[in-house]
Amino acid sequence: MSHTATKTRLRGVVFDMDGTLTVPVIDFVSMYKAVLGENEYQRIKASNPVGIDILKLIDHWSPHQQRQAYDTIAQFEQQALHHLQIMPGASELCNLLDSKKIRRGLITRNMKSAVDLFHQRFGITFSPALSREFRPYKPDPAPLLHICSLWEVQPNEVIMVGDSLKDDRKKCRTANVFTTRSRKDRKIRRY
């Protein structure tokens, strides 16, 4: 009996940033409470036990409320940048991918300045690196498909590495991209 199944070649790896390439440092609960207020946070949390999509919530607010919310989120993100740490093994993995000429991309719901600082500290650049300024952001599959299109590869030739079942795995299923979950932080975060 002969096996004729053809192997799909891995052409690129797309990484999540917070909690995957960096050690998670953002205090998400405090950030949600600061944006929503204690009572609203408890109410929304009760109806979203898996996690809160704070950016999606904010999208429905008035421009003034949105500005305030983004300012608050930016403050938390800015604070976290002071404690930015690269995930152990991330650098070695990137070197391995480079040696095999496998492309490396990045998708995050964090802001562009955080990605810029990460690149600076890490000393390795991911390209493309899409931050939340790219709309629609994950878990929408659009950023992932955008990268596949730029790389001129099929979605099934790409792997997404992330720590969030909601954001990283969901968009991969929609985009037909393989996914693997980083193991350092096993908590499910929706950010």
**Closest CB 46 distance from Mg ion, rounded Å:** 24
What phi-psi label fits residue 170: left (phi over 0), alpha (psi between -120 and 50 degrees) or beta? alpha
Give the active site residue among 16, 163, 167, 168: 16
| Rounded least distance, CB 120 to Mg ion, Å | 20
User: Which residues contact Mg ion by CB under 5 A?
Assistant: 16, 18-19, 163-164
Q: How far is the CB of 5 from Mg ion (least distance, A)?
A: 33
Q: Between residues 12 and 19, which has the closer beta carbon with respect to Mg ion?
A: 19
Which CB atom, from 43 or from 56, has the smaller least distance to Mg ion? Answer: 56
Kind of pairing between the strands at 12-15 and 103-107 = parallel
Nearer to Mg ion, 131 or 164 (CB): 164
Whether residue 167 lies in the annotated active site: no
Specify whether 16 is catalytic: yes
Residue of 18, 163, 167, 168 marked active site: 18
- The residues that are catalytic are 16, 18
